[in-house]
Amino acid sequence: MSAGYQFFHALWLSLAVSGIAALIAALVGIPLGAALSEFRFAGRRAILVIIHAFMGLPPVVVGLYTFLVIMRSGPLGSLNLVYTATAMVLVQVILAVPIVAGFTHASLEEVDPRLGMQARSLGATRGQAMMVKAREARAGIVAAVIAGFGRVIAEVGAVTIVGGAISGKTDTITTLIVKSTRLGSYATAAALGLALILVAIIVNVFMTRLQSEGGRRELEKRVTGYVD
């Protein structure tokens, strides 16, 4: 296995795993954050406390508990998830959802609640009124997804535990950096680090475009399927 193959495989896997994880986290976390902002129900405070606590949870801890659940003798052992990319996505979703939900909730709380009432008084359904508030909080919600992606692509402990950091298979950029550094291949490690920084910049440029007016329609079309 060439070093080049290892490098590009790790790069591709990092992007794929973290991209899919961020997408799933957005699909789960945005509605969750919105629901916590829109509805008042029993247990709402408790859920918020848990979300806020999980936002700062060390990835190795999440990795450990996920591993205990999916390992062969664990409750989900029969699914054979240990040391697979699927397990890596799963653990990253667990890490990213609280970030996306927490920031989405916070940015929706900043929106004037009367805007939702105004939308409803103009004939909006509750869902349509929530959409109005989400549009007002668009920049914050996009930032929530960026932050979620940033957390998981930069993370090393959890993917190492559940993915095993198998060369050419479940190595990500971050796990490969750790390995290369240990082996004294500082040039490789530095190159990987640079690649990670580049990826982060490219992804953020794209996401920031979505935050701006120009990218709004594009985002809406993709997220909601309707645009005027």
87-to-70, 105, 178 alpha-carbon distances in Å:
8, 27, 20
With contact defined as beta carbons under 8 Å apart, do 33 and 104 qualify?
Answer: yes
What minimum distance in Å lies between the beta carbon of 15 and another protein? 32
Instruction: Provide DSSP, 46-62.
Output: HHHHHHHHHHT--HHHH
112 binds another protein (CB under 8 A): yes
Among 132, 178, 200, 223, binds another protein (CB under 8 A): 132
198 binds another protein (CB under 8 A): no
Residue 71 is classified by DSSP as S
CB half-sphere exposure, 200, CA atoms < 13 A:
17
201 binds another protein (CB under 8 A): no
Candidate ranges 66-74, 133-141, 148-156, 174-182; the one touching another protein (CB under 8 A): 133-141
182 binds another protein (CB under 8 A): no
35 binds another protein (CB under 8 A): no
Alpha-carbon span 211 to 104, nearest angstrom: 14
| Residues at the contact surface with another protein, assessed by CB under 8 A | 112, 114-115, 117-125, 128, 132, 135-136, 138, 228
